[in-house]
Amino acid sequence: MSVRKSVNFQEPPGLRVTVDEVVYHREAETPPDRPHCFVYYISIHNGTDQPVTIKGRKWVVTNERGEITAVEGEGVVGQTPTIAPGACFTYNSFHLLSTRTAVAEGSYLGLDASGRRVLTRIPRFEMKVPTGSVPGRSGH
């Protein structure tokens, strides 16, 4: 039997995430079982008084059938950015969906300059295929 040690993360005031834009990418080449591609643009804002290094992320995506996919990984888009006080780290990535709508949320995990484990939540956002859109077609 293994014993799992609890790890505590603090949510420092000033460390926050904004979802800047979510775009349905109709022309993306996608696998048949996940034909809907949504590109999202995210900013991680460091309003604290210490540099913060993002070490990992956890996404939870719930589709219209209520199926939940959890994705955990190191860093952000292959990087472990250190965000200076007053700065922000902005990037874009994507989710591929099997349904026409879903919601996503999650958190970024990091370390501040004092070695304290910190987290900031990714606000919940919706991904919804625009009416009349068919993957692989321009719709015009």
Rounded percentage of the chain residues whose pLDDT exceeds 70: 89
Q: What domain range includes position 91?
A: 15-126
Q: pLDDT class for 131, splitting at 50, 70, 90? A: confident
Report the distance separating Cα 129 and Cα 102, nearest Å.
9
Average pLDDT of the residues of the chain: 90
Split into its structural domains, the chain has a count of 1
Per-residue pLDDT, averaged over 54-58, amounts to: 96
- The answer to the question of residue 131 being in a domain is no
Rg (CA), the chain: 17
For residue 78, the domain's CATH number is 2.60.40.1470
DSSP state of 130: P
- The answer to the question of residue 98 being in a domain is yes
Instruction: Tell me the residue type at 27.
Output: E
Count helices and strands in the chain by DSSP H and E runs: 0, 8
- The answer to the question of residue 95 being in a domain is yes
Q: How many C-beta atoms surround the C-beta of residue 123 within 10 A?
A: 12
Residues 79-89: tens digit of each pLDDT? 999 999 999 99
pTM, rounded to two decimals: 0.86
- N-term to C-term CA, the chain: 60
